[in-house]
Structure formats: structure tokens, C-alpha cells
A and B are shown apart, each in its own frame.
Chain A
């Protein structure tokens, strides 16, 4: 088991290093931040001065070594646009993003899992078909279209809710609903499929034929076994809490990490982009680690398998 855990941690670390390295190389090979930040009409001497002051005139390998040396000292670099530590900028934005993504995650779970379970238990009924139609639509409609549709109805036509910004709690409703509906649709589909597969298993029929109440069969035998693919998806959703609202934040002018990411990429604000990617990669990897460990808790066979491998 210890070896299993250590292996997972090592893989997670390597993944993070690779993500950050990839971002570092791609960002530096795809455009000079000086030209991008100062604009196309900037005097050449201003561009030269900017490049020198930020070390962009150094070879990429030298920059790479300096970057990693700094990371291991806890320094994630300074924003070229802002002149402040990149980590400070990102941390300022995280509460705004979590203010959307956490309630949206709750909404996804509250809508998607029960809808998927109920649809599976009532396969072929009108409710099942309605859930599947809604789920397909939730998958198929891009979030920016859904967002604009909601704005059109609730902000422009009805005037009930604001169309963008982050001034009051009302400003959060449409972005949360936009994020929540898409995720709920995915969760409903995953949960329904997993439940249907489990409900067709022999042990469900055996448990039922032993005389157990159907509710007990579902709660004690079907749900835990159907939870694994759903937990996988939930793990992904949790992992994307920090950077999972890029489009929605742009449409609703919500000043979160997603918008910071868009602006930083567009301006090649290298330290900020790398800082966000590092945090996102760390969150995603950590979330996957937790999911891996949860597998063992949910399914003893996986736990035993890991022990057998150890």
C-alpha cells in the first residue's frame, strides 16, 4: 500500500513538472512578451529595455533553470504587467472563482446524481427520456451560448438579474446556473449509465431475490458499485474548480482566475500563466490522487489488488 501511495505521489509530481515545463517552453516559443505587452506601435528601444529588464534576452535554457530554481525557493515570479508577485495576483482572484465554481459544483451534484439515479430506476419512462434529452442538450450547448441565452431571458427581457459583473450576490446567479447546468447534464448521464450497468448484475438480482427491500438493494448494493465512474467525474469537476470557468467568467465579466488566465495568456504575462497552470495542475493531480484512494474505499477489490501488487 505504501509503495502504491508513493508511486502515485511520484507520478503526480512528474505530471506537474511536465505541465509546467510544457507551458514554459510553449509560452516562450510563441511570442515575445515585450512586443505583445507594449503593443505593435511601441518604440524599439522600449521593447529592448523591457526585454532586458525581465531577462527575456537570456537563452531559454537559462530562463528555464532560473525559473525552476526560483520555484524551489517559493518564488513563482513577478507579473510583467502588474509588477507584483504572480502568486499574489492569482490568490486575489481565487475567492471570486470559487464563489462561482463551488456553488456550481453543489448544483451539479444536487441535480445530476439524483436525476441520473432516478432515470436509471425508471428506465424508459417519460422522466427518463426527459432527463436524457436535457442531458444531451446540456452536453451539446456550448456554455457561452447557454450564458447568452440566460442573459437574454433573465437580464434583457425580464430584467430580473444583472447581465454581468460582480457587484452583488445577484450577479453570481446566472454564472452559477450556467456552470451548474452543463455539469449536471454530464453527471446525470454518467450516473444513469453506471446505475443501469450495476442494476443488470447478478448480485443485484440475488440481493433482491433474498427478499431485501428494493430501496435497501439500491442503497446498499447498487449505489456504492455505481459510484466509481461518478466519483471519477466528480474528481475531475473538483480538479477544475480553479480554472473551470474561463468562458463563463469572460461572458459574465466575472473577475476570477479564468479571466486572469485569458488576459495573461493573451499578454504573455509568463509568470502569471505559469503560476495558474501550476496551481491548476496541482489541484487536478491532487484531486485525482484522492479519487484513486477513494476507489479503494468504495471497492475493496481495488484495495486488495493494490495490496497484492505491493
Chain B
């Protein structure tokens, strides 16, 4: 049996066994869960081979599975995050109900993502896509809050995406007679002009939903914040990248062959940029850390879409690099929120405060990831964003780069809010009992932060796989002359040019900080919010003195017009309207048997009247 089949079988069997292992013991269940993930990832990393193909023969459809360099790159993200978030999940799920349910769907969605990546034909792609959708749906409603609203919204949007993809798939099959992706690519030139537009648009709609592209993003804030954080790390880090994966293929193979290429690229890129800008603004407004990160995820995915859509070699590099980076730092941040929520019971930025001394390791992970997210050198996020800006400027998208730059800068605000809200500020008595999260949760976060740091200095570690992925789809080889592509790389092409300077500045800064710390250690004193005796007036209990209330209010007031209209509300109103309409139309069945008989006679009369036209 082939490696891919073995991995899939282990996944499915592991998911089933884990789900029912709760009957034996909770520990066994944890071990089985971790064992499944480890076994599959080890088998995968030991047997990476992009040449083999497995064909599963069904009478009328052949399912073809095999790795391509591009899917290999995304498989790194999926498996890496799956393992780390898996360990984290074991820690986070301790003592929770429905563990079997969680593990089952977790494993299933990882298996489905792996399946998507190894699918070389559209049917198996769609099958795994749908498995991914419903297993993630089941995890989105895991908490049981707002299931009818959040869950259904997620599923409906996913279904819109999946079904437009399915429509594209059957159309492709009718035109080329095959479900193979390679046949689609080779046969695309022979299609009629209408189909050449229709197919990419349908496919992009499908991928755009998972990549949370406007206006298909409305599911994301609720879904990301409703799922358990250990899964949201995967959800935002890896699952959303499946949409990016699909978009990369569509842009590299289909859009490039179109006469309207630049138009479509611009439209998608603008959608991505607007998504980034608007959702950054919304992120700043949130008080719940989960929702803040959810909106931030949408924004970051917007950047990636911009890079992929522009599609010059550098932009592609930037997009794919950011995809990896986003997977790393955003899942760390979601894990941080999960850890804090587990220890304090809430994820509200207004309530939790001053955890820096209570949860130092979590703080370090959060700090590093926030720096990476904000795009501050020397971490990985900086490299990606730099490449993105440069690619936009060199391809003359000045307005676009302004918008992207604006949202990237605005992102500082919520980054700060996140850090300050949880970790800084005065310590409250309420949280004096809080302890650091268990090691099994902290270590994955620290490993991920370490990756962020390493990639900031050695981006070539993943630029090489990206390059081979892109050259598989016949983009020019960029790896050996990275310095030609972007001025961020030094002229040997293996380093980020700015890194030595940045490290120099950082070292000076740290030395200075340490100096200050030691100098003032004796005299400093920790105070709580209510401890303002120096001003002579003792505040009453209910007075809220933290300035976390109405964070950034002037800024939000300034951008309010842009946020007045929310897509979400329009869509919900539309759905409500439709439901009311259907509620009205079902009154056709008015309960009177005689009316039904009259319908029957009317039916006959109509048919008789139309018979000349019908049966000519």
C-alpha cells in the first residue's frame, strides 16, 4: 500500500478509535490522539516523495493522490501545526467534556487537509474539502453557544463556496472529460471564452470562502472565536491556508492564460486589501481577545491574498512566506488566548490584566508573536511584509500598497491592545491566583515563537521549498538569485540584509533595559488599580480606572464612517427575508383537502393549455 493511503487510513482509524476510547480511560484517549498525529507526521516526513501517485479505481471515477512541491510546502504547515497544536490540545482539553468528539473532528480535519493537499483530481479534492468543512463545522459549534447562528452561518458560507467549486468541477468534467487537475490545466486553453471566465471565478469563490475574502468572510469572526482555541490555532493557521493553496493553483495555472488577466488579478488583490483594512479596523474595536485575533486573522489572510493575486514572482514569494508565518504566529497567539482563558476563565481584554508575572512564558510567546505579526524586524513577519510592499511597488500598484500599508500600521494598535490588556497594566487581586499554564501547553507556544525568530533571520529555510513549488508551476527560479528579487536580501542571497543592524540595535536596547531594571529594582513597587492613595482620594469600588475602557476611542471615532456598514448585518437581513418569504409561500399547503384537489385540476388545465407549446 502506498504511503499516502497508509497515512489516510491511520488518520481515519485513529479518529474513530480515539472517539470511542473514552470508554476505556481518558489518558488512553490522549495517548491515542497524540499517537495518531505523531505517527502520521513521522511517516509523512520520513517518506516525502513528490513523484509517486496512488490511483484509487472506482468504476467511473479514478481518484488520483500524489504530492506536488506546492502541496508539500503546505503540508509542512499542516503537519507542523497539527503536532504542536495537538500537544497543546491535550493540555487544554484536560477535564473537559466531549473530548472524544473534539479529538475525532480534530484528527478528521487534519486528515482532510492532508487529503486536499495530496489530491491530484478534483473529485477527491472536493471530497476532502467537504470532510474538512463538516469536521471544522462540528468543532465550531463545540462550545454549544450560538450554534444556530454561528454554526449555520459558517456552514452556509462554506456550502456556497463548496458548491460553486462543485459546479466548476462538473463543468470542467463536461468540457475536458476528466477530473484530473493536470487535464484541466492542459485543456484550459481550448475552452470557450465564457467558460474560461466562469471556471476561475467559481473556483475562486470556493477558495475565497475559506480564505475569508470579502464579502465571503462574514463567518470567520464568529467561527474563529467560537471554536476551542486549540482548534482555532489550526483553523486560522492551517485550514484557512487551504483556500490560499487553491488560489495559488488557480492564479498560477488558469488566470495567467486569460486575456483579462490583469483585471481579475486587480479585483482579487483589491478585495484582499480592503478585507485587510476593514478587518484591521474591526480588530481594533474588539474587547474580546478571541474576536480581536479572529479579525486580525482575516486581515492577515487579506495580505496573503494580495500577494497571491498580484502574482509576480516576488509577490508570490511574499504571499506564500506570509502564509507560513501567519500560520506560525497566529496559532501561537490563539494558543496564548486559550491558555489565558483556561487559567483565568475569560478572554476579555478588559477584565484580565497584569498577567506578565503570573504567566511569564506565555507572555514571552505572545510578545514574540505580536512582534512578528506587527512586522517589526528582525522577526519573520517583517521579511514577508517587506517583500509584499516591494512587490506591490515594483509592479506599480501604488494605491494598493498604500491601503496595505495603512492596515499594517493600524494593526499596531490592536497588537498593543492585546499585549497591554492581558499582560501589562496594574495587577488586580482578582487574578492573584492565576498560575502559568501547564508545560504541555506552554512548550508548543515557545517552539512556535522560536520558529518565528529563526525565520526572521533565515527565511531561506522556507523560501527554498516555496521556490521549488513555484517552479513546479513554471514560474522562474528565484531562489538562486533572491537578491535580484528584493533588496531585503543581502547580495549573497542567503540573509536578510538588515538583520545585523537590527540585532545591533536590539542588543543595545536590551542592555539598556537590563541596566534600568537593575538600577530601579529596589525602588519599584507594584500597584493595583485602586491603589492611588498618592492623589489623596480613594476611589469607590465601581469606578473603573483602567484606561482599557474605550481603548483608542479617538481613532475609532475617526474611522467610524468606514465601519458603519457591516456586511454581516446585510447578509443576515437577507437570509431573514428569505426565510420569511419561504414561511409565507408554504401557506400554499393550507390544510384543506379540497384546495389540493383544485390545485390538481388547475394543474391539468394549465398543462392542457400549454400542451401545444410543450409537446410540439
Do these two chains really belong together in a complex?
Answer: no
